[in-house]
Amino acid sequence: MSQLLVSLMLLLLSTHSSLALRICSFNVRSFGESKKANCNAMDVIVKVIKRCDIILLMEIKDSNNMICPTLMEKLNGNSRRSVTYNYVISSRLGRNTYKEQYAFLYKEKLVSVKKSYLYHDYQSGDADVFSREPFVVWFQSPYTAVKDFVIIPLHTTPETSVKEIDELVDVYLDVKRRWEAENFIFMGDFNAGCSYVPKKAWKNIRLRTDPMFIWLIKDQEDTTVKKSTNCAYDRIVLRGQEIVSSVVPGSNSIFDFQKAYRLTEEKALDVSDHFPVEFKLQSSRAFTNSKKSISSKKKKKASRT
């Protein structure tokens, strides 16, 4: 494909980005009773969620299981244009008394849950690698260029990040054995930066060394709120030709809610010490229109030669 056609494709896709599906990942840090009672923090969390069509929330620490029902009330209580959210949540995960949950919140009109399961971390000779096993969810949407995709979330323990990130390849293989899925999104707080994953450690991470896994959030990015840190802890990784080609160009980014909502660092840290990471998938209409436009341009160019 010529450089002209590549440039044209990127331009056409970007003009349809507003039709795209925004997928986000957010470590809300110690999301429990005290944060739920903080009205200012909750207002920001709800604003962040409303930006997204699917959002992964991590570090939910709520033994009463009231975080997601509370969020549903705030999201759907005054819902306009029939935009309602639903959610799917994991069991409480952790080796000892400390437990967390993964939750996916999503717009019901745009996507639905096809299947889900908690990864069984019991491989012979390599058991119990994950501090919090991935809660794997298979989504489907009639509105996106890629009609279904599996999201594999992960919140690592910092000291074992290298091993846990590497082990995501085994999770991928396990999902492939279970389901006829081709499109994969790995995302979450991988603690994949600074001292937790030094440069020399990347060669031991199959998720990085295998070129079929495409990393959308790069090593030089900063996903932390504190100005005193600069680390790419939170990541998004894709696998599958169809989903990689369906990404809206330039949509992979970090959402700086502190800047967007004009918060002081102190107020931002009341929400989380992590910024959300995100990207967009093209809508089926945008993708079809782009292909038609490019095909038309090709025909015109051919007729002139």
Q: Tell me whether residue 201 is exposed, middle or buried, using C-beta atoms within 10 angstroms of its C-beta: 0 to 12, 13 to 18, 19 or more.
A: middle
All domains in the chain, ordered by first residue: 19-297 (3.60.10.10)
Q: Tell me whether residue 65 is exposed, middle or buried, using C-beta atoms within 10 angstroms of its C-beta: 0 to 12, 13 to 18, 19 or more.
A: exposed
Our answer to whether residue 164 is catalytic in this structure is no
Give the pLDDT score at 23: 98
pLDDT classification of 213: cutoffs 50, 70, 90: very high
Position 94 pLDDT exceeds 70: yes
The share of the chain scoring above pLDDT 70, in percent, equals: 84
Q: Which residue has the tokens 């399961």?
A: 117
Give the pLDDT score at 83: 83
Between 51 and 83, the more confident residue is 51
Q: Which residue has the tokens 């990864």?
A: 119
Say if CB 274 and CB 254 are below 8 A apart: no
pLDDT in tens, 191-210: 999 999 999 999 999 999 99
**Mean pLDDT of the residues in the chain:** 88
Q: Choose the weakest-confidence range: 47-51, 78-82, 164-168, 215-219.
A: 78-82
pLDDT in tens, 44-62: 999 999 999 999 999 999 8
- Tell me the C-alpha distance between 53 and 65, whole Å: 22
Position 17 pLDDT exceeds 50: no
According to DSSP, the residues that pair with 78 across neighbouring strands are: none
Of 59, 100, 133, 278, the active-site residue reads 100
Q: H or E element: which one contains 235?
A: strand 234-239
Give the pLDDT score at 128: 84
Mode of pairing for the β-strands spanning 54-60 and 184-189: unpaired
pLDDT classification of 19: cutoffs 50, 70, 90: confident
Of 16, 59, 133, 155, the active-site residue reads 155
pLDDT classification of 136: cutoffs 50, 70, 90: very high
- Tell me the C-alpha distance between 236 and 217, whole Å: 6
Tokens representing residue 252 in the block: 């992979």
pLDDT classification of 77: cutoffs 50, 70, 90: confident
Our answer to whether residue 274 is catalytic in this structure is no
pLDDT classification of 294: cutoffs 50, 70, 90: very low
Instruction: Classify 155 in phi/psi space as left (phi over 0), alpha (psi -120 to 50) or beta.
Output: beta
Position 303 pLDDT exceeds 50: no
Position 121 pLDDT exceeds 90: no
Position 237 pLDDT exceeds 90: yes
